[in-house]
Chains A and B, each alone.
Chain A
């Protein structure tokens, strides 16, 4: 009789079987619970993501992967610039769930807030279809443009008259008379600074010419005004058109130039692209 015989029962086939069953069951339980916990905390709930086609200002240089999406605009009767945003509508799915969707056919393409759902913008209140926002473009306070910082104030609505000299405007960067830009925000009233949707508006004679006979441009621009979401598709910086003298080094003096990694976009070349739009989180 071995010395430790009284400490543990003898290892029998039955005991090994029971140990195996209990052990594997508890391991499986731990795995399932972990998977459920990870799922519940990281599940990308919400909607409005997926592959989407959009029109944007073409990426011509630098590491940015694609164009920056354009924001179609209109001018109201008083001359204020207003972005077009689809009316939200509630649809009932076959499963009985109700979803709010903002989509519209515009200029031969389906336009909606999906276009802007990258770089964290998908979490902003402004891209929610049901967000209670008017769609006017408003100036921001600290822009890269002297004319904007001197003539208009933060939060003021953009007006056509502010861009009267667009045919000759220049600030010493690149060629004068190409167009007059302004930095602004859109659908960002009463939201925290981190949720401001940055936009840029450019008024140019070239846009006016290109809009002739172009279905999309004639629907999305007006009187030479072109607006785009001002988030570089590379790392989400805020580029500018003729905002920085350093743009000449990257060949971007007459283009939209991002100072972070020298990406350039040509505002006078509107292209159709597609990307995987990120879903909006649930409320």
Chain B
């Protein structure tokens, strides 16, 4: 209150908490934020009191100033620019959009015709059902799923069923696909992906690396008849290698956190632009 009264009396600009007004000699200083009454009608951009309090000290203050500076520079540039913003929502469908679309379509159709005319057509002989090719595999990007069908050795023989398997091996393989796809599907719900670098969340980074390694090893398992490794060893490696890769990743990232001074700079690493 006293600040306000002083300001009103002198008609001079004052900094926040302007108790040092007596010492400030030159009175032509630009008027900083917080001068005047400080009473403005609230709108959408007006910070709440808790926000104001958060912005008065430490890193949050620094961040606030940084973004505020960037925003004001951006605004200055816009104001100085000769570009005129007009209220145009879009171009009309005809002729603008339509001509653009037609030209794009013509280009790609032309490319297809060009390639079809240039490359010699391949029509192999009809398949011979009485002879199967020596190498017969699905497309490479389906190897992981093909490998999951070969998990028969993991299918437990239950003592309660007298050593019988609850599911046939082929059913078990299909269920394994459901499990893997299910795990991939729920990961986004368990982890929002807010980390910007692996050191922030070593566990999830390790989880991802293990998954990546498993994608490779299960693919290798699917073509086990072509991989020059003993079949049993390959089966064991399929499940051991991802664990090893995940463990190494976790250990490396955990030790890297020290180099990043992670505990000290946690707030910086977690920094996100304000809404």
- Residues of chain A at the chain B interface (Cβ within 8 Å): 63, 140, 142-144, 183, 185, 193-194, 196-198, 230, 237-239, 244, 246-247, 249-251, 258-262
Contacts and interface: CB of A to CB of B under 8 A. Distances in A.
Contacts of A251: 231
Interface string B220-232: 0000111100010
Interface string B104-130: 000000000000000000000010111
A249 B152 contact: no
B5 to A, nearest CB: 74
A193 B129 contact: yes
Contacts of A261: 149-150
B130 A238 contact: yes
A63 B224 contact: no
A140 B170 contact: no
Contacts of A244: 134
**Per DSSP, are chain A's interface residues mostly helix, strand or loop, or mixed?**
loop
**Lowest 7 CB-CB distances: which A-B pairs, in order?**
A198-B130, A246-B225, A237-B132, A238-B132, A196-B130, A249-B225, A249-B231
B131 interface: yes
B128 A259 contact: no
Interface residues of B, number: 20
B136 interface: yes
Nearest to B224: A249
Interface of B: 126, 128-136, 149-150, 152, 169-170, 224-227, 231
26 contacts: A63-B152, A140-B131, A143-B131, A183-B131, A185-B130, A194-B129, A196-B130, A198-B129, A230-B130, A238-B131, A238-B132, A246-B134, A246-B226, A249-B224, A249-B225, A249-B226, A250-B224, A250-B225, A250-B231, A259-B133, A259-B134, A259-B135, A259-B225, A260-B132, A262-B224, A262-B225
A143 B133 CA distance: 10
A193 B128 contact: yes
Q: Which of B149, B150, B225, B226 has the most CB of A within 10 A?
A: B225
Contacts of B129: 193-194, 196, 198, 238
Contact of B130 (A193, A247, A262): A193
A263 B65 CA distance: 70
Contacts of A230: 130
A39 to B, nearest CB: 30
Q: Which of A185, A197, A230, A249 has the most CB of B within 10 A?
A: A249
A246 B229 CA distance: 11
A185 B133 CA distance: 17
A247 to B, nearest CB: 8
Contacts of A185: 130
B235 to A, nearest CB: 11
Contacts of B152: 63
Contacts of B224: 249-250, 262
A251 B149 CA distance: 18
Nearest to B129: A194
A238 to B, nearest CB: 4
A260 B226 CA distance: 12
B132 A239 contact: yes
Nearest to A252: B225
